[in-house]
Structure 1
Amino acid sequence: MRALPTPHEFVAPGCRVTAVACNDDHCSAAFSLPRSRPEVVVWRADDETTSYVAPESRTVTALALPPENCATVAVGGGDDGLFAIVDGRARRLAIKCGEAPGCCACDASGAAVAAGVGKVLEVANTLDGRKIVSFEGHRGRITGCAFREGGGPFVATCSEDRSFRVWDLEGRCCAVESSVLCAPALTCLAFAEDGRVAVAAADGRAWVWRTRDGGCREDVAVDLGSSKRSSEEAKDDDAVYPLALGFDGATLHVAASSMTLAVDLVSREVAATRGLDAAAAASVAGARCCRALAFEATVVAGVLAAGPSNVEAGPLSFFATHAVPDASPLRKDLALRKAEKKVLAAYDNQKKAPRPKKGALVDKPITFHSRIKSSGYGPGKAQKKQARAPPPPPRREAAVLSGPPHVHQPQHDGPVDTDKRSVVHAVFAPDARSIAVATVGGPPVVVRTPVAKYKNTDLARCALGVDDATHVDISRCGGYIIASGGTVAPQIFPAPGATTRHVDAPACRLPSGASGFRFYYLDRFVVGPDGGNVVLDAVALDSNPDRCRAKRVHRFSSDAQRVECVACLNDRYSPLIVAAASDRAVRVLDAAAGRCAREIVDAHARPPHALAAPRSSENDVFASAAVDGVVALWDLRSQNAVARFSAHACRRDPTTIAFSPCMRYLATGSEDKAAYVYDVRRAGAAEDAVWKCRGARETVACVAFSPLHPQLATAGFDGFLRFYTCAD
């Protein structure tokens, strides 16, 4: 960056720069003079300087330039109101400010100006000076505003109430409203042409959100203070206080008080330029930055360098609608491609004998039978036409719970096995006709439901041929069960039939892995922990168990010593994987890109041991639990937990958690011999939003919701399965 030539009359003692602005070609600054009106100076690309006397009597607190060359040169505001410099003349607008505006912006045509005056956003016409509209809704002072790049009737604002909003000028309403993002106030904002909104907070954190159809999704969340310092003179206590933001393709430029930063929106890497003089104000337009020094009347400007990029440009895949990249790990599944199917079909057709057409003569000798009335020449006895098979029953949708499932159904209670071993994990089959449970010191057991129908019969349960598995999961098709944990590698077993009592041999074995493997991506993969990594294995599940095979295709590495558990979606194609590790962090993995998309540090006071993902990718939430007695509810659009539940007791024994199919309730086990059901929509409410499912004699270690019926199953250290339903 270099210092712009400043007129000598503005370098006198007492002069200072109060606001700056820039676009791709020009830079501008407002100078406060000791005994005269403030002036606005505009620098062009050839360093040609033009000065305009502002109509303000004291100080210009906000300044903005139009993105393109037009009749409007600059807009700004101060204690006396808003003004615009049009055709070389500065004139007031018809908006009187009760307090000095903290920010302002100009649209692409230069015909409209928006300014944040306290908690109100004022929009005026720069050509005739009349007021267009006022927007109210923020609960704190507006600190940043910006028109949408490239035009469009939208203005974005951020405020000290720690939220941002997008306003529709045509509809005269608020189009998008975010939740509270963090504890400190938001300081600056940028609005891209594709609808992305970048905001930064006073603690040095920045977010990029995608706004569409009245909603917003968090795309990027970075901590600017964690960037590597390129200057050895920088002190350890240097704070990153963002002053301005600007989009430049896949890079977000940040102008801070004593540095500039470039954030790669793909790899989330932050490159910092240190050693700059302290700035009181800054402005960023694309890759161009303008800074006003804090202790002298000097303005510096320059072009910022782009941030590092190690990954192909693009947003997070689970927020995008485009196809999976060709180099993605999800392209390495073992499913047959169309070309392979065509070759196999041609090979099968060659081996089959051609069938004669109906009514055609068959070249075979005629055989006369004495016991058959027909001589062989006439038509034989007409065969009865077989009736068509009845159509398959329609697929049942998940039942919406009419209330919390806390009413006990004692007729379905029963031990998991004859030895009454402790149960540590349970999961329903997709058709709700069985429950797979993992026991301590014994084989996994498949319990057929309804339990009252099979109680005291030989078909009540079926054991799998592996000992000491602590986690089980059932495929989406219901034909296979994966058992993991213990001393052996994860194994995939064929699901038992209606009369099967024991499944001895697995269909295939995985190379390695710990407890917690799950089916993923419509049964095309299995994912699970393996030491400090999360491994992705492609599987081919065939109707014939002898043809099943597995192949390791990707490994998500981390700095943690051990990955405790994973959660993923298997009912549809979703690249989202969530993993919890021993370093108390929760990581959001993007399987399409093959990398970690986000890391939530210190998610719990102790390492999380359980995760729960929704059944549908339409819900961008997941839950985590730890032995600190807290179940946290997370939203992918936010870096912080949106809710925490702590009415249950979990200080010693790990317990599982589960969402109801309707996403209204969240169930968890507890050490006080009960299961707890929380109302997700009433998080933080009184005790009437929590229900206890009593009846157990020991710790309730696992819970599972039925995918088709309004029913909750619980099991624990007493070795019994118990079922609960709604009151009505």
Structure 2
Amino acid sequence: MIAEKCTFTCDRLASHRQVACCQTHCVLPHRRNELRCYSLEHLDQEPLSLTGHHRDVSSMVFGRRDAQVLLCSASADYVIVWNMDVCQRRADDGLIAAGTVIGTLLGDVVYLAFSSSGERVAACTGTTVTILNSQREQAMCTLSGHLGPLTAAEFCPWDEEILATISEDRTFKVWDLKTESVCYQSFVLSASPLLSCIFVEKSRQFITGSSDGQIWCFSFPNDHNCHLVAKMDNAKMHKRYLRQQETLTRQKGNMLWIGSSDGLYLLDLDSSDLLIALCFRDYPELSIAMAGSWSISSGWEGQMLCLVSSLFTPTVSLLAVRPADAKDDLSQCLEKSLSSGGQGISVFPSSPPLLGSPLNADLRRKEPNRPKRKGQHRGGVKEQPLVFQSKVKSSGYSSSPRRTMFSPKTNAENTSRSKETHRRKVGYILRDYPIDSSAPSVHQQQLSVTNATVCSLQYSGDGKQILCGLGDSSVFLYKSNLTGSPAVYTGHDSAVSSVGWSHCRQWWLSASKDRTLRVWPSGSSEPAITLSEDMLSHPISGAQFYYLDKFLLVACGDSLHLYLYHVDHTHDDIKRYKQRSIVKLAGRFKTTSATDITALSAINDFFSHVVLQCGADRSIQVLDVNQGRVVSEWPDAHSRAIHCIAQNKGSAFASQSPDSHNLFLTSAVTDGVKLWDLRTRRCVRRYENHLNRCHACDVAMSPCGRFIASGSEDNCVYMYDIRSSKYLHKLHRHSDTVLRVAFNPATPELLTGTLDGRLGVFRPGGGPRLSPDPSGAQCGLPTSPL
């Protein structure tokens, strides 16, 4: 995994100097003002000696210009650029290697940076950064504005006119070199100085880290208005990594190597997870025990080269790292576990229900035993006494045979008209969901419901109706266009925390904090089924229909209840107070750690054995109802208890790749939103732009599977593209914290509910449309767990 290729001994400590390494060379200070450059392909040969400085060399960096390797070194007297090919030819001819002086008496240069084209060099001295021409002595511009000494600077690789600088004042600035002005200045990020920074061209992000192990990841759009995407703590990530090493199987993605004082770390920028940790204490054969400075470069044959200086000894080591070896070992372990009897997890069942499975339970309704009348038979005409009267039929002999007479179809025109009228009535519902449409971003409508908080929202499967559970223990039923007066349903004694439609849209349910659940027939003002508080010992944290409306799933305390039910449609005005419907407990499943369930989700649109549940201990558990046990558990999935879980359930109006249904979202206070994949059993992306510090703000996934909407405490809704961690739109026009979000399954439309009882509707505007992923592999996810 990690090997020490060679070790160099210096004449003094190099722990706080900028060391340099590239794919072909590494360079070290020698005798204070000299440099020794080694060829990595021929480490046994004599190094190239570079002389020209009169004072101590303080920093150095490699760059490229026209496929030529350049080295820039700096001291208090000169800044010199060396062409390595020219210097090597002069040394082979017996001449002294010479470089080009591009700066004189700039001061103590602490950091150097080459532009991607190799035409410019940024030199950091004190609170000033000087932009130099790399071919001749010319100071192109001088930039100053930080309140503390600069620690690093980097050119933007896709726009050389942009430069980012970090400082001990704990802020970073983005400079426009054309106008020589600041185009973005950050807030104070940490209590410790910022030490390093880097641009990631693949994801268009800017990343900086501080001396206390904190890492900030910012999006870097074209307008340079940076937005914080993620904040990570290296120590906390390392602890989580030690607890979850068996889950670290991932193909190549948006990765970043981080050099620290105690080792080397591989970070996944999409999910903010630590993939590989290489600590010096685990490799006692290395010469380095504590690192002072790092230079990380890609090598050859899958290797990564690191030049690292020791913190306490005058030693510099060249390390070769093969990250593919660790990934191969983890993949082999997973393959071995799967071949030994383990099964990959998916929302789609791979086998029929077992014989003793709770899914095979059936509700047997006993028919009342009615006494048969004397002479009554199952078929035919009832036997009657024979009499000789013309008006009384005897035994059915005089009854005429029953025949179906032909009747011509005379209302053909009216039938066609009714069909046309039906088409006009349903309108856009008949059309497919436009999967290539842009995300909802334009405010269309706002409605004040009541002064009560909107606690739950859900569209019906056809997108025509909306259920709205309120904090005043009532439920409002609206049309999807929010016109007309809503139907009001009461009966609960506390806030309605959950509402849900059945797949057949004939019933819907409401669950409350008062430990009651009610199932309402569509169009009825009274519930057909009531689960009272004597049946449930704890408040309901989640409830829904399950297995194509066969069961009711109810999360209560540390248990998940599976109920069979039968809704009785008969009406009896005299005995309407008596519940004629039937409810039967088919199964009860407890969490593995006996922790309370905080969120629940299962797919009801097709047969699925998987139920996802989140615990108060911050864990995610995957329950296989067919087997009646928890088949997978992810501890410490968030830093706080998860309050919302949303699966990619799709819609009857939109088609997706089957693998995309294995994606689901979780949300926790102060810990953002995470996207998980059941196939790889780990987090694959993270979204943190929205504000969520105390309220349980919902998150939802669009029917096309391309967009994510999240409520926020800054009175906005954040709309994300599922393939990127930065948000697309920030939807305003709300008067209070946005608690609930829901997508219309039939048309691109977003419904929002706020803390002060208002509903809002957003639809797509005229912005650019994102093309759907034709392969169906969202977020660049693998198509298999390996």
TM-score (norm 2): 0.52
1:254 aligns with 2:249: no
Instruction: Tell me the matched-pair count.
Output: 537
Q: 1:552 aligns with which of 607, 610, 613?
A: 610
Q: Summarize the alignment of residues 33-432 of structure 1 with structure 2, pairs less than 5 Å apart.
A: 33=32, 38-45=33-40, 46-47=42-43, 48-53=45-50, 55-66=52-63, 71-80=68-77, 82-86=79-83, 87-88=86-87, 89-91=97-99, 93-95=101-103, 98-107=106-115, 110-118=118-126, 121-131=129-139, 141-146=149-154, 153=160, 157-160=164-167, 161-162=169-170, 181-195=189-203, 196-208=205-217, 211=220, 213-214=222-223, 221-226=231-236, 251-263=255-267, 267-275=273-281, 276-286=288-298, 287-306=304-323, 388-389=420-421, 391-392=424-425, 400=443, 425=455, 427=457
Q: Deviations over 1:313-359 (max 9, x none)?
A: 9xxxxxxxxxxxxx8857789xxxxxxxxxxxxxxxxxxxxxxxxxx
2:643 maps to what in 1? Answer: 565
Structure 2 CA distance for aligned equivalents of residues 489 and 551 of structure 1: 26
Q: Deviations over 1:427-484 (max 9, x none)?
A: 58799987633578x7x53366999986xxxx953357x8877413466999575534
Q: Summarize the alignment of residues 648-687 of structure 1 with structure 2, pairs less than 5 Å apart.
A: 662-665=731-734, 667=736
Structure 2 CA distance for aligned equivalents of residues 39 and 312 of structure 1: 45
Q: Is the 8 A contact 1:42 1:49 kept in 2?
A: no
How far off is 1:401 after superposition? 9.0
2:24 maps to what in 1? Answer: 25
Matched residue SS, 1:502: coil
2:667 maps to what in 1? Answer: 579
Structure 1 CA distance for aligned equivalents of residues 22 and 231 of structure 2: 26
How far off is 1:289 after superposition? 1.3
Structure 1 CA distance for aligned equivalents of residues 216 and 194 of structure 2: 11
Q: Is the 8 A contact 1:210 1:218 kept in 2?
A: yes
Matched residue SS, 2:756: strand
Change beyond 3 A, Cα 1:330–1:22: farther
Change beyond 3 A, Cα 1:261–1:434: closer
Q: Is the 8 A contact 1:476 1:571 kept in 2?
A: no
2:769 maps to what in 1? Answer: none
Matched residue SS, 1:268: strand
2:629 maps to what in 1? Answer: none
2:525 maps to what in 1? Answer: 501
TM-score (norm 1): 0.55
2:341 maps to what in 1? Answer: none
Structure 2 CA distance for aligned equivalents of residues 381 and 448 of structure 1: 35
Matched residue SS, 2:274: coil
Change beyond 3 A, Cα 1:43–1:219: farther
Q: Is the 8 A contact 1:428 1:707 kept in 2?
A: no
Change beyond 3 A, Cα 1:31–1:429: same
How far off is 1:301 after superposition? 1.4
1:446 aligns with 2:532: no
Change beyond 3 A, Cα 1:555–1:179: farther
2:488 maps to what in 1? Answer: 461
2:697 maps to what in 1? Answer: 611
2:469 maps to what in 1? Answer: 437
How far off is 1:565 after superposition? 2.5
2:247 maps to what in 1? Answer: none
Change beyond 3 A, Cα 1:598–1:70: closer
Structure 1 CA distance for aligned equivalents of residues 757 and 648 of structure 2: 16
Residue identity matched to 2:21: C
Change beyond 3 A, Cα 1:269–1:469: same
Structure 1 CA distance for aligned equivalents of residues 717 and 193 of structure 2: 23
Change beyond 3 A, Cα 1:305–1:534: farther
In structure 2, the gaps of 5 or more residues are 88-96, 240-251, 282-287, 299-303, 332-343, 351-404, 430-439, 559-595, 620-639, 651-655, 722-728, 740-753, 763-786
Matched residue SS, 2:697: strand
Residue identity matched to 1:703: D
Change beyond 3 A, Cα 1:633–1:434: closer
How far off is 1:391 after superposition? 3.4
How far off is 1:589 after superposition? 2.9
Structure 1 CA distance for aligned equivalents of residues 296 and 554 of structure 2: 43
Q: Is the 8 A contact 2:618 2:642 kept in 1?
A: no
Structure 1 CA distance for aligned equivalents of residues 464 and 414 of structure 2: 39
How far off is 1:24 after superposition? 2.1
Structure 1 CA distance for aligned equivalents of residues 276 and 411 of structure 2: 84
In structure 1, the gaps of 5 or more residues are 230-247, 314-326, 334-367, 415-421, 542-548, 626-630, 638-659, 670-674, 676-700, 710-728
Residue identity matched to 2:697: L
Q: Is the 8 A contact 2:710 2:717 kept in 1?
A: yes
Matched residue SS, 2:424: coil
Residue identity matched to 1:292: S
Structure 2 CA distance for aligned equivalents of residues 122 and 618 of structure 1: 43
Larger RCO (CA within 8 A; separation ≥ 6): 2
Deviates more, 1:60-69 or 1:567-576: 567-576
Structure 2 CA distance for aligned equivalents of residues 29 and 82 of structure 1: 16
Q: Is the 8 A contact 1:612 1:624 kept in 2?
A: no
Q: Is the 8 A contact 1:55 1:90 kept in 2?
A: yes
What RMSD over aligned residues (CA atoms) do the two structures have, in Å?
6.3
Q: Is the 8 A contact 2:156 2:164 kept in 1?
A: no
**Sequence identity of aligned pairs in percent?**
16
Q: Deviations over 1:23-76 (max 9, x none)?
A: 12321123463xxxx112212222234455554443332210136995444102
Change beyond 3 A, Cα 1:311–1:590: farther
Matched residue SS, 1:540: coil
Structure 1 CA distance for aligned equivalents of residues 545 and 150 of structure 2: 47
Structure 2 CA distance for aligned equivalents of residues 135 and 595 of structure 1: 44
Q: Is the 8 A contact 1:532 1:558 kept in 2?
A: yes
Change beyond 3 A, Cα 1:469–1:393: same
Matched residue SS, 2:235: helix
Structure 2 CA distance for aligned equivalents of residues 506 and 221 of structure 1: 46
Residue identity matched to 2:760: P
Residue identity matched to 1:707: G
Change beyond 3 A, Cα 1:560–1:207: same
Residue identity matched to 2:469: V
Change beyond 3 A, Cα 1:470–1:332: farther
How far off is 1:302 after superposition? 1.2
Q: Deviations over 1:393-452 (max 9, x none)?
A: 9889998499x99xxx9xx879xxxxxxx9894658799987633578x7x533669999
Structure 2 CA distance for aligned equivalents of residues 139 and 311 of structure 1: 48
1:696 maps to what in 2? Answer: none
Q: Is the 8 A contact 1:566 1:578 kept in 2?
A: yes
1:703 maps to what in 2? Answer: 756
Q: Is the 8 A contact 2:450 2:758 kept in 1?
A: no
